[in-house]
Amino acid sequence: MNHGPVTLADADADADAEARARDAGVPVTNFDPECDPAFKEDPLGTILAAQQLGDVFYSTAARGFWVITRYDLYKEISQDPARYSNCETFTFYRDPPPVFHLPANLDPPEHTKVRKLITPLLSPAAVKRLEPRARASVATIADEVAARGGCDFMADVALRIPAEVFLEHMGLPLAGADEIVATRLLPAKLNASNDPGGVQLAAAVAKVRGMFEEVLADRRRRPADDIPTYLLSQQLDGRPLTDEEIVQLCYTLLGTSLGTTASTMAFLFKLLAENQALRRRVNDTPQVVGGLVEEALRCFPAIPLVSRTVQGDVDFHGITWKDGDRLLLLLSAASADPDLFPSPEKMDPDRLPNRHLAFGLGPHRCAGAHLARMELRVLVEEWHRRIPDYHLGDLCGLTHEVSVAVRMTTLPLVVGQAAAP
Ligand code: HEM
């Protein structure tokens, strides 16, 4: 895998891939979610619009990559890890610094063994045990918002809930939550334009790793009821996990548990704040919440893009892919494939079936899906018990952070109905 500086060989490989795309009649464009301002304005809409370019197209952005927009093609790729590897953490850097995520960057059979270690931590039973904590957290936060008359939903609600539910479980102090969340989410804000050499990225990764190294040293002396202690007791291939493996797993679990769910929470609450009829439905018929959460996941996936790397040369429906070619799979576009989702542009809480791809498919399917669903459901239920009516505040500062994940930077909400115009 190439993590070194950009070389002439890389440039040749890009030109070769572009030439193969043109030979196969595949559209070539500059699809660049990190640098194109349209993505900051409306990331999910801009990604969806890319469907119009074709089922597959080639982007010359960053180091060059093939983009896949259709459900069945996405399914074919994500369920064939031998041919389409997840060994690289995709970034839009031209010269990407090495970032390794365990278990995400392993392929089967190694991936299967490591993934089994974390499955019990996020099982339905484990998530059920976290639900009272989630309810208490939303109740306190919503009461505070009601008393203040409004909030920045992103900072005051969406980013706080996942942290309050999961941080102590990760062995980290709730008292330092704001700083921990900011540090762990910083890498998603960095890219080729604001951190060209990856210096800030490396520093943020090192800081989070350092926190877990301290936690591990402490748990060796004083075991606790948390994930680092559990991982210290686990075996891989008949030996205890190394500190490096535990730190890697904790790094991944912390990052994936925080910003993702927060992102979908904010998109959903923006929609609810704008739509009085939908709010009324949630208030009057709480049974709609399950369907609403699924449709929010389909329409507002926190990770609308996932990547794979081609292993060996492949003929993909008449297109020649070569060893090392990078693929970017537009999950959100696949979840809006009209063949599977009639009127995909319509946000419909009654949509059944709703086999959206917000959590992916195949061996790397999201390990935290039960936790994310529970937090979203509990937020909608407990919030509306306390704050049935609310509307958007001044959105003039609203923009989005965009990498493979997307997130609003702020979302001002005001409690109560908007004054009639
Ligand atoms: C709305 C919230 C969430 C969404 C939309 C989401 C989505 C995803 C997606 C699309 C993937 C990658 C699938 C692939 O590469 O094919 C993923 C992986 C992962 N997610 Fe989530 N996620 C969410 C919340 C969470 C939470 C709360 C956790 C809890 C820790 C979590 C843990 C993970 C882990 C560990 C992986 C790596 C799995 C592997 O490679 O085996 N996620 N998630």
pLDDT per position in the chain (421 positions), as tens?
Answer: 333 344 555 566 688 999 999 999 999 999 998 788 898 899 999 999 999 999 999 999 988 999 999 999 999 999 999 999 999 877 776 666 667 789 999 999 999 999 999 999 999 999 999 999 999 999 999 999 999 999 999 999 999 999 999 999 999 999 989 999 998 888 877 777 788 778 888 888 899 999 999 999 999 999 999 999 999 999 999 999 999 999 999 999 999 999 999 999 999 999 999 999 999 999 999 999 999 999 999 999 999 999 999 999 999 999 999 999 999 999 999 999 999 999 999 999 999 999 999 999 999 999 999 999 999 999 999 999 999 999 999 988 888 888 778 899 999 999 998 877 6
**Which atom of ligand 1 is found nearest the CA of 371?**
27
Q: What is the pLDDT of residue 96?
A: 60
Tell me, what DSSP letter sits at residue 38?
Answer: H
The answer to whether the beta carbons of residues 379 and 138 sit under 8 Å apart is yes
**Which atom of ligand 1 is found nearest the CA of 258?**
27
Distance (angstroms) between ligand 1 centre and the Cα of 29 equals 29
Angstrom distances, CA of residue 5 to CA of 83, 98, 265: 26, 11, 38
- Which domains are delineated in the chain? 8-415 (1.10.630.10)
Ligand 1 pocket test, pick from 165, 308, 366 with the greatest ligand atom count within 8 Å of Cβ, gives: 366
Q: What is the pLDDT of residue 97?
A: 64
Q: What is the pLDDT of residue 14?
A: 80
Token representation of residue 294: 């699924």
Write out 350-409 in H/E/C secondary structure. Answer: CCCCCCCCCCCCCCCCCCCHHHHHHHHHHHHHHHHHHCCCEEECCCCCCCEEECCCEEEC
Please give the helix or strand (H or E) that residue 151 lies within, else none.
strand 150-152
Ligand 1 pocket test, pick from 260, 261, 300, 375 with the greatest ligand atom count within 8 Å of Cβ, gives: 260
Nearest CA to ligand 1 atom 2: 261
Please give the helix or strand (H or E) that residue 138 lies within, else none.
helix 124-148
Token representation of residue 284: 């009057």
Question: What residue type is 92 in one-letter code?
Answer: F
Cα separation, 79 vs 364, in Å, equals: 9
> Helices 177-189 and 243-274 sit at what angle, rounded to 10 degrees?
90
Cis, peptide link before residue 363, omega less than 30° from 0: no
- Could you tell me which residues come within 8 angstroms of residue 347 by beta carbon, excluding any fewer than 6 positions away? 271, 295, 296, 299
Paired strand residues for 391: 414
Strands 326-330 and 65-68 come out as parallel
Token representation of residue 247: 């730190």
| C-alpha R_g of the chain | 22
pTM for this structure?
0.94
Distance (angstroms) between ligand 1 centre and the Cα of 252 equals 9
Question: What residue type is 296 in one-letter code?
Answer: A
Comparing CA positions, the residue from 168, 28, 110 lying closest to residue 364 is 110
Nearest CA to ligand 1 atom 40: 104
The answer to whether the beta carbons of residues 180 and 167 sit under 8 Å apart is yes
Distance (angstroms) between ligand 1 centre and the Cα of 188 equals 15
Q: What is the pLDDT of residue 93?
A: 64
Cα separation, 67 vs 79, in Å, equals: 17
Distance (angstroms) between ligand 1 centre and the Cα of 255 equals 10
Distance (angstroms) between ligand 1 centre and the Cα of 222 equals 30
**Which atom of ligand 1 is found nearest the CA of 263?**
1
Cα separation, 320 vs 16, in Å, equals: 11
Degrees (nearest 5) of the Cα angle 390, 393, 396?
155
Comparing CA positions, the residue from 156, 152, 162 lying closest to residue 184 is 162
CB atoms within 10 A of CB 174: 11
Q: What is the pLDDT of residue 5?
A: 40
**Which atom of ligand 1 is found nearest the CA of 111?**
41
> Hunting for tokens 């925080």 — which residue is that?
258
Cα separation, 298 vs 347, in Å, equals: 9
Q: Side-chain half-sphere of 147: how many Cα atoms within 13 Å?
A: 6
Distance (angstroms) between ligand 1 centre and the Cα of 146 equals 32
Distance (angstroms) between ligand 1 centre and the Cα of 153 equals 22
| φ and ψ at residue 332, rounded to 5 degrees | -70, -35
Token representation of residue 194: 């604001």
Cα separation, 139 vs 131, in Å, equals: 12
Nearest CA to ligand 1 atom 20: 366
Distance (angstroms) between ligand 1 centre and the Cα of 257 equals 8
Ligand 1, CB within 6 Å, residue ranges: 78, 86, 103-104, 115, 122, 252-253, 256-257, 260-261, 264, 301-303, 306, 331, 358-360, 364-368, 371-372
Nearest CA to ligand 1 atom 23: 260
Q: What is the pLDDT of residue 202?
A: 86
Q: What is the pLDDT of residue 95?
A: 64
Q: What is the pLDDT of residue 1?
A: 31
Distance (angstroms) between ligand 1 centre and the Cα of 256 equals 6
Strands 412-415 and 56-59 come out as unpaired
